[in-house]
């Protein structure tokens, strides 16, 4: 069984790694002889880590031109609209070219080979060889602002597979919201997908919002990372848990729609500082471990540690794999998490969470677990201090509740994969 799994991001993003490793494990359980090929923003490094063939995306998002545009936008944010316009024009041009190229390939393969750049040819050959094509978009199919156009890089392979008459399924993912021209692109692009699996109900609302006509009714399941609970399911959740460690996973956020991004970021950081300081005052035995789950989390993790200014606080940067993170979170009494997959991996080992929702996917996942009362919106963290202390007190008993909810999520996930 050959399966092509396009749509991965980077192993450096531990959430993406948890999702992809979980899916590979589920597919290997269903088809023991499975041979999987992936795509990545960094195929060379990720190929060594996953031990699988990893291809570059059809249009590499980290090409020299794209990196140059990204640096220009970082220096002069007003250029974001220019960059996004370039992305949209490139996308439309690429899709048109792929349609013509795919019609040439079966009749004149030698000509098609000459007309293909290396990543296009590699992806096309893998699509044709594959028994199944299953996209792994995770949480990247969205555009909060019309200028959020990097998600377009995930779409050419969907179009190409459809043009080559290979149906494409999307593994459990979040879809939407979309703004501006992205709404129209999403509406037309998702028509080329055979079956969509969602990881929360909120994405159904997003699909209805863009009025997309789908080939099949979407199937709602759970995030694939919940499969990492497999080794813990037979162990009873502890009724009393002696740990006094608070785990923290904080990420930088751009606050789309905010009139002052800098002020919103200061308020976001200040709310965390205040809540953690109050917890340390409330429990003299409490200590805090801030875990940078991606490279981009490192700076704000150190900012938080410095702003708290207490001796019982440390930052960890040495946890490089989902398994290491799971072992780390297992020792926590409670996790305060903005990174959604930090929350999921913690719950996979029964650790309760207070989730800060920077994206509808976080609330959607927690709602599916019937744990929505543990969610606070990133734009309003006024109740964070009280919620953190309340959950700190109930955390030992909440482990049983989390255990039960995650066990159910994992079983529903396995059922969904069996019909994929």
Q: What is the pLDDT of residues 317-354, one digit of tens each?
A: 998 888 999 999 998 999 999 999 999 999 999 999 99
Residues 6+ away with beta carbon under 8 Å from 318: none
Strands, E, within 265-415: which ranges?
287-291, 313-316, 334-337, 353-357, 375-377
b/e sequence 200-235, b meaning 16+ C-beta within 10 Å: bebbbebbeebebeeeeebebbbbbbbbbbeebeee
State the residue for tokens 């991606």.
294
Q: How confident is the model at residue 239 (pLDDT cuts 50, 70, 90)?
A: very low
- For residue 237, the model assigns a pLDDT of 47
Structure tokens at 118: 């290396």
Three-state DSSP at 279 gives helix
Structure tokens at 5: 């799994």
The CA distance from 285 to 243, in Å, is: 9
Give me the DSSP letters along 221-252: ---GGGGGGGGGTTSPPPSS----EEEEE---
Nearest C-alpha neighbor of 114 from the set 127, 105, 103: 105
Q: How confident is the model at residue 74 (pLDDT cuts 50, 70, 90)?
A: confident
Three-state DSSP at 63 gives coil
Q: What is the pLDDT of residues 242-271, one digit of tens each?
A: 689 999 999 998 887 778 888 999 999 999
Three-state DSSP at 38 gives strand
Structure tokens at 318: 């040495």
The CA distance from 150 to 73, in Å, is: 13
Q: Which helix (H) or strand (E) holds 135?
A: strand 132-135
The CA distance from 87 to 63, in Å, is: 13
Q: What is the mean pLDDT of residues 212-233?
A: 84
Q: Does residue 1 carry a pLDDT above 80?
A: yes
Q: What is the pLDDT of residues 86-124, one digit of tens each?
A: 999 999 999 999 999 999 999 999 999 999 999 999 999
- For residue 125, the model assigns a pLDDT of 97
Which residue segments constitute the domains of the chain, with CATH numbers given? 2-220 (3.40.50), 231-409 (3.40.50.2000)
Q: Does residue 60 carry a pLDDT above 90?
A: no
Structure tokens at 78: 């007003």
Nearest C-alpha neighbor of 221 from the set 412, 22, 411: 412
The CA distance from 277 to 246, in Å, is: 12
- For residue 236, the model assigns a pLDDT of 47
Q: Does residue 235 carry a pLDDT above 60?
A: no
Q: What is the pLDDT of residues 148-193, one digit of tens each?
A: 999 999 999 999 999 999 999 999 999 999 999 999 999 999 999 9
- For residue 402, the model assigns a pLDDT of 95
Q: What's the whole-number average pLDDT of the chain?
A: 90
Q: What is the mean pLDDT of residues 12-40?
A: 89
The CA distance from 57 to 119, in Å, is: 7
The CA distance from 155 to 57, in Å, is: 10
The CA distance from 153 to 7, in Å, is: 9
349/418: higher pLDDT? 349
What separation, in Å, do the N-terminal and C-terminal C-alpha atoms of the chain show? Answer: 14
Counting other chains too, the contacts that 320-324 makes at CB distance below 8 Å and 24 or more residues apart are 320/14, 321/14, 321/17, 322/14, 322/17, 322/18, 322/21, 322/22, 322/225, 322/228, 323/228
The CA distance from 382 to 404, in Å, is: 30
Q: How confident is the model at residue 232 (pLDDT cuts 50, 70, 90)?
A: low
355/28: higher pLDDT? 355
Q: What is the pLDDT of residues 353-398, one digit of tens each?
A: 999 999 888 999 999 999 999 999 999 999 999 999 999 999 999 9
The CA distance from 121 to 218, in Å, is: 31
């Amino acid at each position: 069984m050959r399966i092509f799994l396009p749509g991965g991001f980077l192993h450096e993003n531990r959430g993406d790694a948890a999702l992809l490793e979980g899916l590979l494990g589920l597919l290997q359980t269903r088809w023991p002889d499975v041979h999987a090929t992936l795509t990545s923003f960094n195929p060379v490094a990720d190929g060594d880590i996953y031990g699988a063939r990893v291809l570059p995306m059809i249009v590499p998002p980290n090409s020299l031109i794209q990196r140059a545009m990204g640096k220009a936008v970082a220096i002069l944010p007003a250029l974001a609209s220019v960059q996004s316009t370039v992305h949209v024009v490139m996308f439309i041009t690429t899709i048109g070219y792929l349609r013509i190229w795919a019609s040439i390939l079966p009749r004149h393969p030698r000509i098609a080979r000459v007309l293909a750049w290396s990543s296009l040819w590699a992806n096309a050959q893998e699509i044709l060889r594959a028994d199944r094509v299953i996209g792994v978009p995770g949480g990247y199919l969205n555009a909060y602002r019309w200028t959020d156009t990097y998600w377009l890089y995930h779409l050419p392979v969907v179009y190409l597979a459809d043009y080559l008459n290979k149906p494409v399924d999307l593994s459990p993912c979040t879809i939407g919201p979309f703004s501006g021209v992205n709404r129209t692109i999403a509406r037309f692009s998702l028509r080329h997908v055979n079956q969509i699996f969602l990881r929360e109900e909120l994405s159904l609302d997003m699909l209805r919002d863009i009025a997309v006509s789908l080939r099949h009714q979407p199937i709602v399941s759970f995030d694939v990372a919940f499969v990492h609970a497999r080794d813990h399911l037979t162990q009873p959740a502890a009724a009393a848990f002696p740990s006094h460690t608070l785990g923290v996973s904080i990420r930088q956020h751009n606050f789309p729609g905010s009139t002052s991004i800098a002020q919103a970021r200061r308020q976001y950081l200040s709310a965390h500082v205040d809540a953690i300081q109050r917890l340390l005052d409330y429990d003299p035995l409490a200590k805090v471990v801030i875990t940078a789950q991606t490279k981009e989390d490192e700076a704000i993790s150190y900012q938080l540690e410095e702003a708290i200014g207490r001796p019982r606080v440390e930052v960890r940067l040495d946890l490089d794999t989902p398994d290491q993170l799971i072992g780390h979170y297992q020792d926590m009494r409670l996790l305060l998490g903005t990174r959604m997959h930090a929350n999921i991996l913690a719950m996979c080992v029964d650790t309760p969470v207070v989730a800060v929702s920077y994206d509808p996917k976080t609330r959607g996942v927690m709602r599916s677990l019937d744990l929505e009362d543990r969610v606070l919106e990133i734009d309003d963290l006024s109740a964070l201090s009280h919620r953190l202390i309340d959950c700190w007190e109930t955390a030992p008993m909440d482990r049983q509740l989390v255990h039960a909810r995650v066990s159910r999520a994992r079983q529903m996930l396995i059922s969904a994969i069996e019909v994929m």
